[in-house]
A and B are shown apart, each in its own frame.
Chain A
Amino acid sequence: MSATTAPAGTTRGIPARQILRGAILIAILLLALLPLLNHLPADSAFRVSDFTVAVTGKWICYAVLALAIDLAWGYAGILSLGHGAFFALGGYAMGMHLMRLIGPRGVYGHPVLPDFMVFLGYRELPWYWLGFDHFPYAILMAMVVPGLLAFVVGYLSFRSRITGVYFSIITQAMTYALMLAFFRNDMGFGGNNGFTDFKQLLGVPLNTQGARAGLFYAALALLAGSLVLCRHIVGTKLGRVLVAVRDAESRVRFLGYSVTAFKLTVFVLSAVLAGLAGALYVPLVGIINPGEFAPGNSIEAVIWVAVGGRGTLIGALLGAFSVNALKTWLTSVAPDLWLFVLGGLFVAVTVFLPRGLIGLFRSAAK
């Protein structure tokens, strides 16, 4: 990990950065404590409920998604409004694995076919379902499928020099088209209901405290790993070229760099991260369905990054956690008014805090 190079565009005062780094470390440690606190007796003041563990696990997956978006948008200026699609595809790969693991415990007791296939009259597994009974294959697919889609869409777009809002609109159409396609029951992905009622993963029943803690740590490890990876990337030459592409694409091209290759690399990498986040998200929330492809979801994920502060990896994390925590809280406290608060926050941050919460923190630290 090359922590020596500052992320581009963030050469601020040293103390602020050190405070931040310390804060992240403490935050991750605190997060790591959560599942342990879940084991305390019910009347303990420090006990953390199952709900908190589950919901925090979900936020961690969102944070990885935000990190992936920030890498592409904050550093390379590629604003994809289709990252929800990569996330969902990763989720579907894991969902297919979980469905295969149900085995004969489904309602209709078929040894191989998931319930919905028995029901829709499938005689055998479609070819694209083969192999998903193996965990490593499912994880591989959770990376390969989003990566491949990102490669195709990215290659076609970057080669034609489609940038800025045009790229955003295309990726939005991509996730929209995928959503419509996955809604179709004839696709073999369970239609609107998607996949649910999972039983186990890696031999562990899913509806236990232990399984949730395990998934939580897996998500946390993914988050830490992604953070390290992203920091490494933005610190290397690749990262600096990306920032240059973001700020003046044609100049970089005139300098002889293959802009397409650089953008493609980071876009595919970002999609793979999103896919992995989705793969962990599914066993945590217990359902995956085409609603995850909804264009609104992708936009919201981008907004987390904007709220936290784009172009600073920490900002993405901060944004994902704070917006989702706010949403969880508000949908219970003010079920009729939460959209006003959240919508207002999005407006206020983009207009008044162009650098996001991190920017606010930095100017305060200065």
Chain B
Amino acid sequence: MEKRAAGQPAARTIMTRILPLLLVLLFALPAAAQDAFLDALPGLAGGFGTQAEAVERLGAGGDARALPVLRALSDSTLRKNGSTVILPDGTDAATGRPADTAGAETVRINNRVRSALRGALGRLQLVSAHADERYAAADSVFRSRSADNVAPLEAAIARESVPRVKERQQLALAASRLVAADAAVKRQGIATLGEASSEDARALLLEARAANPDMTAEIDRAVASIDSRLTFKRAAETLFQGLSLGSVLLLAALGLAITFGVMGVINMAHGEFVMLGAYTTFVVQEACRGIPWLLPWSLPLSVPAAFLVAGLAGTALERGLIRHLYGRPLETLLMTFGVGMILQQAVRLAFGAQNREVLSPAWMQGILSLPGGINITQNRLWVIVFSLLVLGLTLAAIRLTRFGLEMRAVVQNRRTAATMGIRTGRVDALTFAFGSGLAGMAGVALSQIDNVSPNLGTGYIIDSFMVVVFGGVGSLIGTLVGAMGLGVLNKVIEPWAGAVLAKVAVLVIIMLFIQRRPRGLFALKGRAAEA
């Protein structure tokens, strides 16, 4: 597409000159567009190349009737019967009368058509009544830049009242000016793009650099100006990525910080509790499918459900088996490894070995743009927020509730606690259930960024143990600092060492660190570190 400006037949060049004019005319006189619309329409039923051309003509025509057709095409609800194009409501797009739908098939498109479609829809929707649509339209026009867009964009900017839409439209205008024939217009475009701080704008400028050897100096200046802002943006994004990885580690490790850190139980089936949480999310979602209004809320609903399921599994494990092994942490480790094997295979047989699909609600998808062009993925942001919430709740449960008080009492001195009337066995069971429940909640979050498969937990178990030991066994704040620190460290190393070596390096750093400080970052005072 981008080559179009370079070597087109003369007729096309004239077209591009006339089109803006034509467009303005057509907005005023829709009736006159009838021929162009009807002319272009059958092309949609052709091959991908023909389709793309038809879409471009429909977009350029500016006919109001083109909009539903193009929308239907983009949602794959448009059908064709021979060369008749049929709208989703069963009417012939050309005549508006009911069409013969027998033997009609859906019109399929590919990326080439989709890309043309984005430009065409964008152009048509620049005048939409909804600000969101206008924003999306400006975005589309930005990407599918073409000199034809300059006039409609200028008209749109003049009308626009919403600042963020206007800003986007100005960028789109600059992008379109960049491919204009007039040098002065081009320079205007370069200047505007130089003030942006996005990779996209940079890409456009670099592309224009190759096509305009006479403007190299201006373009280089503009690119340098973008780059200076991008450095900060990239650092900020790396930090965010590190925190995001850290939050995943934190979630996976929090349960362990309770069961291992507080109780001293090594639960190798911890990863499987995380996996149970993720499968609970899947089950809750499937249960919600029958009730459409509930479906978007299935994820929040899964949080307590996963806590319960994993918590109950934890209680069963503690009461049934682990309690016989208190004081023998190494045997507990081996035994729970066996439990993990069983849980994994049980889930594999019950749900199948394949991944299960857990949907992301709309509010968790896409990008949040912060000032400075910093882009943050929504789902990762939510995971960070969620992990901090869970940490807060855990701290509150331990510091503020009666259960927390009893738990701390039992940890500090089991016998004294028992003589004070605390039922230590019950506290053990509840503590373990609580830790396991936290693992289940981690599973809900992981279902949003990883596979929901029987192997889900195995990938996190070693990292979680390292986080807990690194942060300091028994210290939740240590777990937080450890997880976030390791996450950021990993992401800082990754760009120059590669993903694998970064992970190896982090593991080695932790191992060396533990040799220096066997009790981790935040050692609890007064407790024997020897197991």
Contacts and interface: CB of A to CB of B under 8 A. Distances in A.
Instruction: Tell whether any CB of A sits under 8 Å from a CB of B in the complex.
Output: yes
A339 B500 contact: no
Contacts of B529: 166
Given A170-B511, A172-B465, A351 B335 contact: yes
Nearest to B531: A164
Contacts of B504: 177, 180-181
Interface stretch (A38-46, A50-58, A154-162): A154-162
Given A343-B339, A350-B334, A183 B469 contact: no
A162 B485 CA distance: 23
B337 to A, nearest CB: 5
A33 interface: no
Contact of A340 (B335, B342, B469): B342
A322 interface: no
Interface string B304-333: 000000000000000001001100111111
Contact of B518 (A153, A161, A183, A346): A161
Interface in B324-362: 324-325, 328-335, 337-342, 344-346, 349
Contacts of A36: none
Contacts of A238: none
A165 B329 contact: yes
Most B-side CB within 10 Å, residue of A159, A161, A172, A173:
A173
A351 B334 contact: no
Contacts of A299: 268, 333-334, 337
B76 to A, nearest CB: 39
A20 to B, nearest CB: 24
A152 to B, nearest CB: 10
- Which secondary structure dominates where chain B touches chain A? helix
Contacts of A351: 321, 324-325, 335
Residue from the set B264, B337, B512 with the largest chain A CB neighbour count within 10 Å: B337
A177 B321 CA distance: 31
Contacts of B325: 350-351
B347 to A, nearest CB: 11
A262 interface: no
Interface in A105-160: 153, 156-157, 159-160
A-side interface size class = 35 or more
B503 interface: yes
A250 to B, nearest CB: 8
Interface in B506-521: 507-508, 510-512, 514-516, 518
Interface residues of B, number: 45
Contact of B514 (A170, A176, A337): A170
A157 B334 CA distance: 22
B2 interface: no
Given A176-B462, A181-B504, A184-B500, A166 B341 contact: no
A74 B340 CA distance: 24
Nearest to B338: A346
A350 B266 contact: no
Contact of A176 (B329, B338, B507): B507
Contacts of A177: 503-504, 507-508, 511
A339 B330 CA distance: 21
Contacts of B321: 347, 351
B35 interface: no
Q: Is the interface of A mostly helix, strand, loop or mixed?
A: helix
B345 to A, nearest CB: 4
Nearest to A153: B511
Nearest to B337: A299
B501 interface: yes
B214 interface: no
A329 B514 CA distance: 42
A163 interface: yes
Interface in B479-502: 500-501
A169 B469 contact: yes
Contacts of A337: 345
B530 A163 contact: yes
Contact of B530 (A164, A180, A350, A354): A164
B342 A303 contact: no
A342 interface: yes
A163 B531 CA distance: 7
Contacts of A296: 337, 458
B226 interface: no
Nearest to A179: B504
B191 to A, nearest CB: 45
B331 A343 contact: no
B430 interface: no
Nearest to A155: B515
Interface in A271-329: 295-296, 299-300, 302-303, 306
Given A163-B530, A177-B504, A184-B501, A350 B345 contact: no
A344 B342 CA distance: 7
B507 A173 contact: yes
A336 B345 CA distance: 8
Interface in B257-290: 264, 266, 268
Given A162-B514, A173-B511, A342 B341 contact: yes
A37 interface: no
9 contacts: A156-B515, A164-B330, A165-B329, A173-B507, A180-B504, A181-B500, A345-B338, A346-B337, A354-B328
Interface of A: 73, 79, 153, 156-157, 159-166, 168-170, 172-174, 176-177, 180-181, 183-184, 295-296, 299-300, 302-303, 306, 336-337, 339-340, 342-347, 350-351, 354
Interface of B: 264, 266, 268, 321, 324-325, 328-335, 337-342, 344-346, 349, 458, 462, 465-466, 469, 500-501, 503-504, 507-508, 510-512, 514-516, 518, 529-531
Closest 8 CB pairs of A and B: A346-B338, A164-B531, A343-B341, A343-B342, A339-B345, A350-B335, A177-B507, A343-B338
Given A162-B514, A302-B334, A337-B345, 5 more contacts: A164-B530, A168-B266, A173-B511, A343-B339, A351-B324
